[in-house]
Structure formats: structure tokens, C-alpha cells
Amino acid sequence: MKEAILVREAARTLSNRLPPGWSEKILASKPTAKDRPDGTLEITSPDGTTARMVFEAKSRVFPRDVAELKNRLERYSSGPYLVVAPFLGPSTRRRLQEQNLNYVDTTGNVRLVVARPGVYVANCRADRYAVPKPAASCAHSVTFPRLFRFRISR
């Protein structure tokens, strides 16, 4: 999954989990240097208070990667931090939580803890990653005779 698509999908997942009246916005999504995080995400409360968190988007994150991710994020900002991935397994999520790293994956696993504005979102949706299947085109999904029979029978 391309990084820009991953970040967009993760932002949508997070947006769907935020309380009513809250919003999210990606402020930056391209690093200016190799050692910098991938971008900054801003969340805004209903009263207009905002929090910015630097994020790192990875195609895969394993428990052994968490300490290095935290070190990389800490070199750039004092927090809060966010890790974005297509899927984060249970042991990786546990390790991220132990390191006080927020996370969101595209399967719906979310943990967001921010002191100001005060927000806590935790949601576990998937413990296994199912590779998304490509959408079938109309020409391949329904053959003409089936479609014809369907229309006649109605």
C-alpha cells in the first residue's frame, strides 16, 4: 500500500472513531529529510483546541520495531506520537501502548490518548490481517446469462 493512501485511509479510520464534533487534518505528509517523521496530524476538539502529533507510516510494524520508532519520533518532537500501518498485530499494539505511542491501522485498531485537548479513543477491531481482495469488474462479477435470467425471473 502506498504511503499516501495508507495515511489517508488511517486518517479516515481515526476520523470515524473520534467523538462527535472532533476533526482530524493531515498537515504534512512528506518528510523533508530522511530521518524525519512522515508527517503531522492535527486533531481539533469541538471548542477549537488542537493537538498536533507527528506520525510515522509503515507498511509493516513488528514488536521489535517499536523502540526504534519511538526514538525516531522523539528526535523530532516532544509528543504526542502516532504510528500508522495497514495492520498492527496484538503484540505490536501492546508494545506500542507500553511505549505510550498512539496508533491507528486501516483495519480499525485505534489507540489515541492526548492530554490536551483531552481525548481517549481505544478500539480493537482485528487481531488478524486479511489481505484486501481487488474489486472485481462488472464484466467479471456477473455473466450475461446470469444477469439475463435474473431480470426475467423478476
Q: Which of 48-52, 129-133, 145-149 has the lowest mean pLDDT?
A: 145-149
**pTM summary value:** 0.76
Q: Does 147 score more than 80 pLDDT?
A: no
Neighbour count for residue 21 (Cβ, 10 Å): 9
The continuous run of DSSP H or E covering 149 comes out as: helix 144-153
Burial degree of 132 (CB within 10 A; 0-12, 13-18, 19+) = exposed
Residue 152, pLDDT > 80, answer: no
**133 has a pLDDT exceeding 70:** no
Q: What are the residue boundaries of the structural domains of the chain, listed by start? A: 3-153
pLDDT at 25 over 70: yes
Q: Nearest CA to 62 among 91, 105, 37, 86?
A: 91
Average pLDDT over residues 88-116: 93
Describe the crossing of helices 90-98 and 66-76 by its angle, rounded to 10 degrees.
Answer: 40
Q: Please tell me the predicted confidence (pLDDT) of residue 48.
A: 93
